[in-house]
Amino acid sequence: MPKNLLIVESPTKVKTLKKYLGREFEIMASVGHVKDLPVNRLGVDIENDFRPEYVVIKGKAKVLKALKEAGKRADAIYLGPDPDREGEAIAWHIAEELNGRKKKIYRVLFNELTPKAIQEAVASPQGLNREKYESQQARRILDRLVGYQISPLLWTRVKRGLSAGRVQSVALKMICDREREIFNFEPQEYWSLTAHLHADKPPPFKARLSKWEDQKADLKNEAQVKTIVEALRNEPFKVLKVSKRKKRRTPPPPFITSQLQQEAYRRLGFSAKKSMSIAQNLYEGVELGEKGQVGLITYMRTDSFRLSDEAVSLVRSYIHEIYGPEYLPEKPNRFRSPKGAQEAHEAIRPTSIELSPDAVAPFLSKDQLALYTLIWRRFVACQMAPALYQQTQADIEAGKGLFKASGSVMVFKGFTVVYDEEEAEATVAKSEEGLLPPLRKDQVLTLKELEPAQHFTQPPPRFTEATLIKALEDNGIGRPSTYATIISNINQRAYVTLEKGRFRPTELGFLVTDLLVKGFPEIMDVRFTAQMEGDLDKIERGQVGWTRVLKKFYSTFQKDLEKAKKEMKGEVSAGMTCPKCGRPLVIKSGRNGLFLACSGYPECNHTANFERDEKGQIIVEKPPEVSESEIICEKCGRPMVAKRGRFGPFLACSGYPECKNTKSLNGETPDNGQPPPDQTVCKVCGGKMLVKINKRGQRFLACENYPKCTNTEPLSTGVPCPQEGCPGTLVERASKRGKKFYACNQYPKCRFILWDEPVDEVCPLCGTKVLVRRDSKDGGAYLICRNKECDFKRPLEPSSGE
């Protein structure tokens, strides 16, 4: 019978550890956290030094019961969750639950799951780290205080279902601030002038105007450039100076968490959440055939560039053997970690340099192999010699102008043979295009053409996941373990949309951000948030007590909260006046989205829909140009009135709800069940197809000439079937119980079905064809990917507001 109980948080880690620990250990998994703050209430006793109220997480009672039973049988209990703040909190909560009999409880830290590291960790266990646990607890309480006290304000002032977060709201503000930078950006015109030249020997080359009349060439308009071109037309071009130098390109450091997320996004298109999920699998262990379960990388949540001496020694031997001594620097490359980094962890590296990507490829999924290859190559490259380039630059004189030409050739690939091979080939190709012929001082060149070109300065780009993570890191916001969660939360909110992989704030995102900045200026301040991160680090280092940090924070937050409860109106100025009464217009949120409203309501009830132009200016949307008297309902004779639905403007009978007749105004299908344009004509007799409902509640199309024509058709969604090679289209169906679903019209040849409304779009994260639409509790809607392993989620922007 095992004498010791080892508890980790992951079942996958259990499998890896069982391979290396003997029968003396019973190994079990907590499957993540076992206790947390309650979901349905604040769970923090503010008056009693912010004492948290922890409850067993729903579904974890059985897990805890099994752990307690195993704990009774064991002589000693070892707790081995991940070696970070979250892992420490898991260990601490398990210890609280299992310590009824005062058993010996030890903490073990697995920075990598290799035989040596596992045996060393178990042989030298530690005590629980109170400071690290209290740092996590302080973060959790801070987030709870902000989220659970600001979010209800947004529910009552804006709309139900909104949320605020201590860090995610600051990240959203950064996205909104960037969008406003783009709005305010005024492009500036500038010109360049390039000379196409020939020397005595090929190849021909280009030189760009650098100076004119001994001043930097600042070409602002076409007229200025034309004047210079005319002045140079008959001037000789003569080489003034030729200089050559070698340029070094040093290898990059090994990965830390933030850089891995950025590079995985840039090279592989992985979201931060996906990268961390795959990295977790690689750390916990992968089945490698006869080798069994093997942990392939070190712990993946780290901000330190530190590498163990043993790992460096082994990779240097590998480089010498495989690539040769010229690729090995005289001394190991060392990299300085960011300020405040936790040096207890190493950088992310393979646990064994011998486990090359080729060696493990048969056992890994495509995504696992891609990420592991990135990590493995980066680690090898970080200890290799620099790449060397031969760079030549020539100064060329022509009249009052000075032109510069440059070219470079890679003379030694160095580390790029491993990590940057593809980019290095592109660099070489580009450099070859920019090669200069042999040039000498005072050599006269032949001018073939002077090429002027117009340019415009560009606005700052919107954030991608990678650039947002870099901005958060540069500003000291969040930590390695939180970046993926921050990005995931932003993705899942209706505050932003993803356009070509870049974050664009919605009108709701702007509204909520503006309200929070006005009501809680300190929380929404980037520097203050960074300072809070620093305070949490100080708690972990034992430099300050966690309650002291919370008290300091809450003294200001409470004042802002009370003030916001009195003053927050849930609206922001639109910078426009009401056309009816002249009072200011405001932007508000209604059931169907954001809209313009008069601030003089209820005295003035003017409202209007709006949109923004490329400069962020509000454009009032004109109502459909249809009056009540122009069109008469053909069913009841009453006037038709203009309305707006999910698919745009349409006409509805003014006699609603007695008469529910509607007509489309823009050729699109309104929210009234009108058939799509390609299904409006009966294929049998040419009559009009009408939407009908059968006894089970299923909608279908039937010919208006029934009973003379009995043709019926399922109601098409217009969305092609996503099954490979299937020519079908998805149509509406209903189950025997009347539940709506969507199936391919090629049934039974194709049995593809969906229970959610399909949308003909491709997932930008994983490439899955056809997304699905779901409704949220607050009355909104969003799109998600059908692939259960993909986290893509995007809100559907409402079409109008009230």
> Which residues of 536-629 form beta strands (DSSP E)?
572-577, 584-590, 593-598, 607-608, 610-612, 618-620
C-alpha dist (Å) from residue 619 to 530, 586, 613, 715: 37, 13, 7, 36
The Cβ-side half-sphere exposure at 303, using a 13 Å CA radius, reads 17
* Pairing label, strands 51-52, 55-56: unpaired
Residue type at 314?
Answer: L
User: Any residues with CB less than 8 A from the CB of 52 and at least 6 apart, and which?
Assistant: 37, 43, 44, 45, 137, 140, 141
Beta bridge partners of 590: 593
Could you tell me whether strands 76-79 and 104-107 are parallel, antiparallel, or unpaired per DSSP bridges? parallel
Tell me if 741 sits within 8 A of 749, measured CB to CB. no
Return d(Cα 554, Cα 3) in angstroms, integer.
47
For 278, how many CA atoms within 13 A lie in the half-sphere containing its CB? 25
- The three-class DSSP label of residue 391 is strand
Compute the distance between CA of residue 575 and CA of residue 620 in angstroms, rounded to an integer: 12
What CA–CA distances, in Å, run from 69 to 55, 99, 795?
Answer: 20, 12, 46
DSSP string, 357-384: HHHHGGGS-HHHHHHHHHHHHHHHHTTS
Is 372 an active-site residue? no
Structure tokens at 296: 């392939």
The alpha-carbon radius of gyration of the chain (Å, integer) is 33
Round to whole Å and give the CA distance between 46 and 145.
9
Spatial distance between the Cα atoms of 267 and 423, rounded to a whole number of angstroms = 11
The H or E element spanning position 278 is helix 272-284
- CA torsion angle 631 634 639 643 (round to 10): -80
Q: How many CB atoms are located within 10 Å of the residue 460 CB?
A: 11
Given the residues 20, 106, 283, 299, the one annotated as active site: 299
**Phi, then psi, of 291 in degrees rounded to 5:** -70, -20
List Cβ neighbours of 133 (8 Å cut-off, separation of 6 or more): 85, 88, 89, 91, 92
Place of tokens 């650039």: 467
**In contact, 754 and 742? CB cutoff 8 Å:** yes
Q: Is 763 helix (H, G, I), strand (E, B) or coil?
A: coil
- What are the catalytic residues? 299
